[in-house]
Amino acid sequence: MAALIQRHVASNLADANFPPDLSPMLSRVFMARGARCSDDIDLSMSSLLSPSLLMGIDGAADLIIAAMESNSRILIVGDFDADGATSCALAIRAFEAMGHSDVRFIVPNRFEYGYGLTPEIVDLAKPQNPSLIITVDNGISSIDGVAAARAAGIDVLVTDHHLPGHQLPDANVIVNPNQHGCEFPSKALAGVGVIFYVMSAVRAGLRKKQWFNDQRKEPNMADFLDLVALGTVADVVPLDKNNRILVEQGLRRIRVGKCSAGIRALIEVSGRSAAKLIASDMGFALGPRLNAAGRLDDISIGIACLLTNDVAMAKDIATELDSMNQDRRQIEQGMQVQAETALARLEQDKSTELPIGMCLFNDEWHQGVVGILASRIKDLHQRPVICFALANDSEDCSELKGSARSIKGFHIRDALDAVAAHNPGLIDKFGGHAMAAGLSLKKDKFADFAKAFDKEASRLLTEDDLQSCVMSDGALAPDEISIDNATLIHYATPWGQLFPEPIFDNEFLLVQQRIVGSKHLKLVLGMDDGSGQIVDAIAFNIDIKAWPDESVKKVRAAYRLDVNRFRGQETVQLIIEHLEKVN
């Protein structure tokens, strides 16, 4: 848990204009995240940005409505992660709710076809005779695939959120808040957020055409917010105000039982409570189970879970997804041991420094799990990481697929763009955004790429950038470390990327310490104020070489407030993010 604790710059609460009943603790937390007034923390649907601000939204609605009016077949082309799965399910559910049932979907199997709308996927689509292809959570880099579809007489609507390259696909319409010229204020929409906006515009257009009647009821778009919330959190996009509205409104519906059978089943197999669901449950419990299908098998299994209205079927599929996720964990753990062993050899070699930009490859690694592995290694070593595996669709094992994860201050997609520009022909293709990206290259070019990537990372990153840091919201008074405040924080707002859950730091007396579950440190901490107040705490994945340490009597801890539920009892507990010895 090597890290530094830094505190957010203290703000003057007198400068804020929050509701008078907002606690001083939450006021400090919100101000540290840039909020200054009631409007900044208003997560009502009335504060949601208008679809009309999205470039191409009117053309997209017109294109879809024309297909619906002619009763033409629409084909959704999705992506193989949770964002892609929720996007696909939302589109299909929305079309059916609006009275158009001739809609199908294809999701490229990552092991056979790779990412996005490719010419090969178009060849699979042709026999289904679609008049319109809609990409969700992909398409902005599908130059050849879109061209193939248009050449075959199929209209194409691209809905995506990934950063565009130098060339855009020649689609009929593109809706992407990150495309050049789009003035939509939120650039952080997930793919599921984009298709939610598109289908909202379709509903508005159909209403003007008096499409809805007694037999064909107008749907409430809020019915799809459970999917939007799940896909947004699972894709780890920044939770700006607009995304927090989408997530909060989806969570509110789930908590009162207004969600799809599939999401309800995922909650159940995850051991969570729908009534108490929070954003982190979606990120750490539901999302991974949905993603497991795309990582190990076929995301269509996950989409089926989100589409079914049959409770028993949803439970069966969710149970299968849970089993896949357990398999994924075992595969990941083995890969992480192999990666750490390789890095340890580098560190032991005094003539070789650990690269600033890490590239790791093992021909035994699973292509679907390298993204998670890259994230784990990035967290351990505080530097950008790209993990590679053999491409399953490469018959001669000559191609590698890589998944990249980055740290603050290093835009990974721009870095890959720079490497490609300075080394023509080194990378076959790449795409992504600031914190995550994917790429492919020839196996015999791996060493050259690793050097080029490390050079680019070394050019842009400083020693300070490589120092892991825990940002704290300051110390809590003894009476603030309470179950009431833990509960208040949990439900105050969706916490996530760029709007993190509050972390506090205090010095504590170390009363008890013991290892549980082989690598977790269970603690009893005492307040250092003479009050005698004690609190339970746990530090996950602790360095068992350093802890427990009976010589330590006092510690400084950075922690999150949590509610521990055990045998029907609820108590406050500290989740330790960083622990250091004081004496």
Q: What single string gives the DSSP state of each residue in 250-279?
A: HHHHHHTT-S-HHHHHHHHHTT--GGG--H
User: Measured in whole angstroms, how far is the alpha carbon of residue 61 from the centre of its chain?
Assistant: 27
* 130 contacts 75 by C-beta, under 8 angstroms: yes
Q: Which residues pair with 403 in a beta bridge?
A: 387, 438
H-assigned helices in 126-184: 143-151
Structure tokens at 160: 């995506």
Query: What is the rounded CA–CA span in Å between residue 138 and residue 105?
Result: 14
Please give the pLDDT value at position 531.
81
In angstroms, the CA 420 to CA 409 distance is 20
Quick one: pLDDT at residue 496?
Answer: 95
Query: For residue 574, how many other CB atoms are within 10 A of its CB?
Result: 25
- The model carries a pTM of 0.91
Q: How far apart are CA 369 and CA 375, in angstroms?
A: 10
Query: From its phi and psi, is residue 160 left (phi > 0), alpha (psi between -120 and 50) or beta?
Result: beta
β-partners of residue 385 are 358, 405
> What does the alpha-carbon distance between residue 571 and residue 583 come to, in Å, rounded to a whole number?
29
Tokens of 528: 């250092």
Tell me 245's DSSP state: H
The set of residues, in sequence order, having a beta carbon less than 8 Å from that of 533 and lying 6+ positions away, is 478, 481, 526, 527
Contacts with 173 (C-beta within 8 Å, 6 or more apart), sequence order: 56, 59, 60, 63, 157, 158
CB 189 within 8 A of CB 459: no
Backbone angles phi, psi at 294, to 5 degrees: -70, -30
3-state helix, strand, coil in the chain (%, to 5): 40, 20, 40
Where does 353-460 sit in CATH, by number? 3.10.310.30
pLDDT of residue 15: 84
d(CA 140, CA 160): 6
Q: Which helix (H) or strand (E) holds 508?
A: strand 504-516
Note the Cα 129 to chain centre separation in Å.
34
Work out whether the CA dihedral 251, 254, 260, 265 comes out positive or negative: positive
Could you tell me the residue ranges of all domains in the chain? Answer: 46-323, 353-460, 470-581
pLDDT at 111: 67
Q: Which two tokens stand for residue 423?
A: 């080394």
Q: Which residues of the chain have pLDDT under 70?
A: 1-3, 110-111, 349-352, 393-396
Which CATH code of 3.30.465.10, 1.10.10.10, 2.40.50.460, 3.30.720.200 fits the domain covering 470-581? 2.40.50.460
Q: How many whole angstroms separate alpha carbon 279 and alpha carbon 147?
A: 39
Residue type at 37 in one-letter notation: C
Q: Is 290 exposed, middle or buried (0-12, 13-18, 19+ CB in 10 A)?
A: buried
Q: How far apart are CA 29 and CA 26, in angstroms?
A: 5
Confirm if 539 and 531 have CB atoms less than 8 A apart: no
Please give the single-letter amino acid code of residue 516.
V
Specify burial of residue 242 (Cβ count, 10 A radius: 0-12, 13-18, 19+): buried
Q: Identify the helix (H) or strand (E) that includes residue 119.
A: helix 119-125
Pick one of 3.40.50.970, 3.90.1640.30, 3.40.47.10, 3.40.50.720 as the CATH number of 46-323: 3.90.1640.30
Q: Where are the beta strands (DSSP E) in 100-259?
A: 103-106, 132-136, 155-159, 173-175
* Residue 141, number of CB atoms within 10 A of its CB: 24
Cα dist from 6 to 451, 462, 475, 542, whole Å:
33, 18, 12, 21
Instruction: Quote the CA–CA distance of 322 and 345 in Å, as a whole number.
Output: 35
Identify the helix (H) or strand (E) that includes residue 492.
helix 483-492
CB 554 within 8 A of CB 582: yes
pLDDT value at residue 193 = 98
CA distances, 9 to each of 24, 32, 144, 336, 500 (Å): 16, 7, 49, 36, 15
- Which pLDDT value is given to residue 1? 44
Please count the other Cβ atoms lying within 10 Å of the Cβ belonging to residue 440: 18
* Strand ranges (E), 69-116: 74-77, 103-106
C-alpha dist (Å) from residue 231 to 235, 279, 345, 494, 549: 6, 11, 39, 14, 42
